């Protein structure tokens, strides 16, 4: 079956009837300027005239012409956001929160995705700048030099989220990924683990993934726990990739008693692989995640993780951007630091007592808390 894709009856972008302010002005006797004022600064128009104008507008079914409006007012009433991918529980939550927040200010959201590629991000920034966004939200601290240059030149207010960087020249809204992931590692160390594996996100162009890995490494190093290179795997955030990585870790001569994952997707995949191989989690092996996506709470066992308030982060970004509109050139609280919560679930427990584990321990020692995993 063939049908037009809802084609206009007139070639014009707006139907002839729809009318411009000019049209309505001549037709109603109220000047276009007043009509415009009623739309933008209602209290500047005295009540009776305003009421009349409102009726005229409503009766005509008037819909403003955004482009003309932006051109004249230098504001698009549109905010931009660029995320690595929309198809992620974390970023979808952030975007949803952002869009709800700017919505209350009458703003719309121009959304793009960078696919974890900083060049792509730069190109999207340019595209959104061309569309005249009044503000912009980006993810993380790693950006192409060109991105920052364009942003600076245009002077568009922007914030970055899901990380924290007190030294950044712009506001950041989020948490310290390195510190938080160190926290999970510390927790596992505290309950006795000494042999670790890591399934991290791919660090290239992804500061959050890189920082989380750095956090894992740092925490272990501070407790003199060695982490072999072969026990650290970087993988794309997908369940199959994580399963494959976990399978590799399980093949290591010194099987880890705990596997730190860069996010919950990776943790979930790791968990599935263990269950598949009839390993008991957490009895045989502990697994931790990051983000606290819905699945982490609902799978069995639940995944020990760090809870990230995705929607709230987005909402904070939205409010900051909104605020930047009003306070033209004024100072704003920046670098919002978000406290995260460690959520302990069933995927982690103290390591097995390894009584018969002599074969796996280098010196056959049964309890050497600072003993590291061999390469």
- Dihedral over Cα of 107, 110, 111, 114: its sign: negative
Binding at 28: pick from a second copy, DNA, none (beta carbon under 5-8 Å per type)? none
Residue closer to a second copy, measured from CB, 4 or 47: 4
Residue that is written with structure tokens 């506001």 in the block: 171
Q: Check binding of 334 to a second copy (CB under 8 A).
A: yes
Find which of a second copy, DNA, none residue 49 binds, CB within 5 to 8 Å per kind. DNA
8 A C-beta contact, residue 287 and residue 346: no
**367 binding partner (options DNA, a second copy, none; Cβ < 5 to 8 Å by kind):** none
Which string of x and - marks every residue 349-368 that binds a second copy (by CB under 8 A)?
Answer: --------------------
**Two tokens at 194?**
């000494």
DSSP state at residue 304: B
Residues 17, 48, 153, 326: which binds DNA (CB under 7 A)? 48
- How many of the other CB atoms lie within 10 Å of CB of 345? 19
Query: What character string, x for contact with a second copy (CB under 8 A) and - otherwise, covers 301-320?
Result: ----------x--------x
What is the token pair recorded at 357? 């584990």
**Does residue 96 interact with a second copy by CB under 8 A?**
yes
Residue 321, Cβ density class (10 Å: 0-12 exposed, 13-18 middle, ≥19 buried): buried
Stretch that binds DNA, among 21-29, 188-196, 275-283, 287-295 (CB under 7 A): 21-29
**Dist CA 101 CA 173 (whole Å):** 15
| Closest residue by Cα to residue 314 from 105, 99, 86 | 99
Provide, rounded to whole angstroms, the least separation between the CB of residue 232 and a second copy. 24
From the list DNA, a second copy, none, partner contacted by residue 359 (C-beta under 5 to 8 A by kind)? none
Closest of 313, 316, 312, 321 to residue 107, by C-alpha? 321
Would you count residue 32 as binding DNA (CB under 7 A)?
A: yes
C-alpha–C-alpha distance, residues 47 and 121, integer Å: 48
232 makes contact, choosing from DNA, a second copy, none, with CB < 5 to 8 Å by partner type, with none
Total of residues contacting DNA (CB under 7 A): 30
Q: Please, what is the minimum distance in Å from the beta carbon of residue 56 to a second copy? A: 17
Rounded-to-integer distance, Cα 83 and Cα 146, Å: 17
Residues of span 53-112 touching DNA by CB under 7 A: 62, 64-65, 68-69, 71-73
16 interacts with, out of a second copy, DNA, none, CB within 5 to 8 A per kind: none
Contact with a second copy (CB under 8 A) among 35, 56, 128, 303: 128
The end-to-end CA distance of the chain, in Å, is: 64
275 versus 338: smaller Cβ distance to a second copy: 275
Member of 21, 90, 209, 270 binding DNA (CB under 7 A): 21
State the DSSP H helix or E strand holding residue 173, giving kind and residue range, or none if neither: strand 172-174
| Site membership for a second copy, residue 4 (CB under 8 A) | yes
CA atoms of 141 and 247, how far apart (whole Å): 32
- CA–CA separation, 75 vs 131, rounded Å? 10
CB nearer to DNA: give 22 or 341: 22
Which CB, 50 or 170, lies closer to a second copy? 170
Helices (H), 131-236: 145-154, 177-190, 207-222
Choose which of 58, 298, 356, 363 interacts with a second copy (CB under 8 A).
Answer: 298
* Tokens (6 digits) for 243: 């399963």
Q: Which of residues 174-233 bind a second copy (CB under 8 A)?
A: none
- Contact between 33 and DNA (CB under 7 A)? yes
Cα distances (angstroms) measured from residue 121 to each of 98, 150, 202, 263: 18, 12, 17, 22
Q: Which two structure tokens, joined as six digits, stand for 21?
A: 């302010």
278 binds a second copy (CB under 8 A): no
Min dist. Cβ of residue 220 to DNA (A): 54
- Which parts of this chain interact with DNA (CB under 7 A)? 12, 14, 20-22, 29-34, 36-37, 39-41, 44-46, 48-50, 62, 64-65, 68-69, 71-73
């Amino acid at each position: 079956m063939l049908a037009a894709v809802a084609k206009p009856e007139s070639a014009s972008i707006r139907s002839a009837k729809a009318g411009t302010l000019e049209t309505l002005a001549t037709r109603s006797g109220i000047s276009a300027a007043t009509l415009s004022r009623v739309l933008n600064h209602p209290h500047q128009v005295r009540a009776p005239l305003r009421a009349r104008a409102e009726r005229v507008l409503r009766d005509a079914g008037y819909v403003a012409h955004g482009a003309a409006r932006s051109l004249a007012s230098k504001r698009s009433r549109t905010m931009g956001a660029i995320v690595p991918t929309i198809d992620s529980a974390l970023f979808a939550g952030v975007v949803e929160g952002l869009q709800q927040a700017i919505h209350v200010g009458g703003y719309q959201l121009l959304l793009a995705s960078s696919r974890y590629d900083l060049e792509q991000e730069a190109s999207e920034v340019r595209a959104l700048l061309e569309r005249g966004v009044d503000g912009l939200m980006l993810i993380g601290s790693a950006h192409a030099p060109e991105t920052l240059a364009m942003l600076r030149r245009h002077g568009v207010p922007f914030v970055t989220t899901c990380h924290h960087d007190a030294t950044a020249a712009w506001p950041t809204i989020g948490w310290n990924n390195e510190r938080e992931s160190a926290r999970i590692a510390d927790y596992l160390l505290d309950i006795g683990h000494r042999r670790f594996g890591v399934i991290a996100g791919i660090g290239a162009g992804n500061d959050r993934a890189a920082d989380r890995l750095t956090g894992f490494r740092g925490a272990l190093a501070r407790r003199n726990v060695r982490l072999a290179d072969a026990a650290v795997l970087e993988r794309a955030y997908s369940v199959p990739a994580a399963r494959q990585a976990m399978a590799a870790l399980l093949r290591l001569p010194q099987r880890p008693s705990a596997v730190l994952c860069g996010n919950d997707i990776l943790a979930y995949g790791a968990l599935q692989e263990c269950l598949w191989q009839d390993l008991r989690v957490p009895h045989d092996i502990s697994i931790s995640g990051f983000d606290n996506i819905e699945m982490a709470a609902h799978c069995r066992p639940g995944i020990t993780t760090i809870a990230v308030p995705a929607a709230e982060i987005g909402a904070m970004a939205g409010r900051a951007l909104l605020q930047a509109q009003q306070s033209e050139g004024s100072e704003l609280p920046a670098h919002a630091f978000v406290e995260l919560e460690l959520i302990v679930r069933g995927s982690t427990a103290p390591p097995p007592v390894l009584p018969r584990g002599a074969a796996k321990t280098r010196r056959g020692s049964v309890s050497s808390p600072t003993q590291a995993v061999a390469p």
